[in-house]
Amino acid sequence: MAYDLHGSWDRTLGHNSPLYSREGETSAVAQLNQDWGVTYWLSNGAPPEKIMLGIATYGRTFLTYNGNQMGDWALGPGRQGTFTEEAGFLAYYEICHTSRMAGPASGTLKHSGTLRLLPNRMGGYDDVDSITIKKYIKSTWSRGRYVWAIDMDDFRGTCGNVSNPLLRTIREYPSK
């Protein structure tokens, strides 16, 4: 499971499913990323064909006092999704529909603060661009990857004229 690595239970802002650690992270917090987890299992003898990387089709939101940078203080969970109905949790289709995204994670979420993809972490939530970057999965593990959950992708294609953009991108990088 390579998601839910950060969320509203943390005291600081952090990405849900980061590929790498953020500059300045130390100790156990620096280990909360996908690359560290897979490297750990492989270096301790786990066979590559038994490792699968979990990719989230949702994101985590935070309530903040006065900041929107990773590492800033978090006060608790952000707003709940219209359909997911859980504070601090938005399905990908809620994220992209709310922000009217037309590409990489950028822009402003209405009533929710800044939405951004930080290059050194490769994802606060996974989108087409971050999943494309994570294509190294194909060359690293024989088993590939799985998602949680397929129904949180943009299954109607309301955000970019194509249905299930995340699942389609994952499918473009088949397992060995």
Contacts of 4 (CB under 8 A, 6+ apart): 16, 17, 56, 60
Provide the pairing of β-strand 145-148 with 53-56.
parallel
Please check whether residue 71 lies inside any domain of the structure.
yes
What are 14-45's pLDDT values in tens digits? 888 888 888 888 889 899 998 898 889 989 99
Structural domain including 159 reads 27-171
Is 5 within a domain?
no
User: Among 99, 75, 76, 77, which Cα is nearest to 86's?
Assistant: 77
Query: pTM here?
Result: 0.79
Write out the two tokens for 85. Answer: 């109905």
Asked if the structure places residue 7 within a domain, the reply is no
Is 20 among the domain residues? Answer: no
Residues 35-88: tens digit of each pLDDT: 898 889 989 999 988 888 888 999 988 888 777 777 888 888 888 889 999 999
Give the confidence band of 92 by pLDDT, cuts at 50, 70, 90: very high
- In this structure, is residue 1 part of a structural domain? no
